[in-house]
Chains A and B, each alone.
Chain A
Amino acid sequence: MKDKILMIVFVLVLGTILTTALVAVNSYTAPIIEKNASIKMKSSILSALKIPYAEDEVERVFEDSVTMETAGEKTYYRSSGGILALPYEGSGLWGPISGVLAVTPDLTEITGITIMQQEETPGLGSRIAEAEYLDTFVGKVFNPVLTMLPPGKGVENDQVDSISGATMSSKAFVDILNAQYGEYRAVLEGE
């Protein structure tokens, strides 16, 4: 009996000490972690809007050239040139995909696109996040959706190519863009 009480007391005391240490570490790092997340979001928006920035100046450049706006429940961003940056997220083939889509003020032509997070197969599906692929979307037009075709077939301005060997991931990506674009369009044009 005495052993059992001793055991419980020992675990409780040790647990309390370690928990206190963790609370201290957490309150020290939490603001830094939050700041990292917001910098990541801001740099993704700047990249989609094709606004050049230096690593350590993200916040300042963002303040100077981007304003945040809301419509309905949607939050989006507008550059000083009027280009809209629409954050999107949805399910990829294996995990969530999120990023920022930049379109012209009349909501038609894509001017830039970035991916912040994706968990597709390394070397195959993960190529959707490569600049080389994302650049093929620039200049394309939603009509009212983008159509995905096999590599090399997407010649019209509302058609995009899939990635050879990663058809499912590229399809999931374009589906997310179409769905989220539709939602933004509905709230923005309904205003």
Chain B
Amino acid sequence: MAGPNTKSKTMTTLLDGLWRDHPIFSMLLGICSALAVSNKVENAIAMGAGVIFVMVATGIIISLLRKMIPRRARIITYMIVIASFVIIVDRFLKAFYPAISESIGPYVGLIITNCIIMGRAEAFYIQNNTGQSILDALANGISYTYTLGIIAVVREVLGFGTILGFRVMPDGWTNWVVMAMAPGAFFVLGLFIWITRTMAKMESD
């Protein structure tokens, strides 16, 4: 491909990941962990960083191996590559950030089954070169992280009266316990998907 074409392909990859094919509101992938880990901004950032790392690493490995991977062994290859990087993230958090590891606990392990990573591996990394795959991984990972971040800001402010542990609500504020629990996540994520889909529709009309 010539210069301008590559450039427009790069733009497309980025825009698709960040907005048009947004993994959460457009493809509805990764919902499980988005609900579970969005009760505090700190957890959302840690989870997002973990997912971005695993996605980029998986993107690099899969796109480098894409000509060697036997067609019928694709899924198991994704699984073992993703699982290895997830275990690395888990051990790293346990060793250097024990407090964060404790609060997001089992969900780090569940990055393995985060459909965004499997989905992008099958849809993108297996067919594209390493540069494009890294971009795609970054775009999708950042999408996932900013979505978690937005939901977490709403939930932490209403459910705990804080942002990143700092008090933002007045002293008389009564915490909405429901926001700290699972149902709150459904409400906020539902609203988020409604708003973003309405915006996306207005754009395409």
A residues near B (Cβ < 8 Å) are 3, 6-7, 10-11, 14-15, 18-19, 21-22, 25-26, 29, 32-33, 36, 40, 121-124
* Cα of A29 to Cα of B69 in the assembled complex, Å: 31
Number of residue pairs spanning A and B whose beta carbons lie under 8 angstroms apart:
59
B69→A33 contact, CB < 8 A: no
Contacts of B159 in A (CB 8 A): 123
- Closest chain-B Cβ to A100's Cβ sits at a distance in Å of 17
B39→A14 contact, CB < 8 A: no
Known contacts: A10-B68, A11-B73, A123-B181. The answer to whether A22 contacts B88 by CB under 8 A is yes
Q: For residues 39 through 89 of chain B, which have their beta carbon under 8 Å from a beta carbon of chain A?
A: 39, 65, 68-70, 72-73, 76-77, 80-81, 84, 87-88
B residues near A (Cβ < 8 Å) are 39, 65, 68-70, 72-73, 76-77, 80-81, 84, 87-88, 91-92, 94-96, 98, 159, 175, 177, 180-181
- Closest chain-B Cβ to A136's Cβ sits at a distance in Å of 21
Q: Is the interface of A mostly helix, strand, loop or mixed?
A: helix
Known contacts: A7-B70, A122-B39, A123-B180. The answer to whether A33 contacts B91 by CB under 8 A is yes
A29→B95 contact, CB < 8 A: yes
Shortest beta-carbon contacts, A-B, top 10? A32-B95, A123-B177, A29-B95, A18-B84, A7-B70, A29-B91, A7-B73, A36-B98, A122-B180, A123-B180
Residue of A nearest to B92 (CB): A29
Contacts of B94 in A (CB 8 A): 29, 33, 36
A25→B70 contact, CB < 8 A: no
- Closest chain-B Cβ to A34's Cβ sits at a distance in Å of 10
Contacts of B96 in A (CB 8 A): 32
A3→B91 contact, CB < 8 A: no
Residue of A nearest to B177 (CB): A123
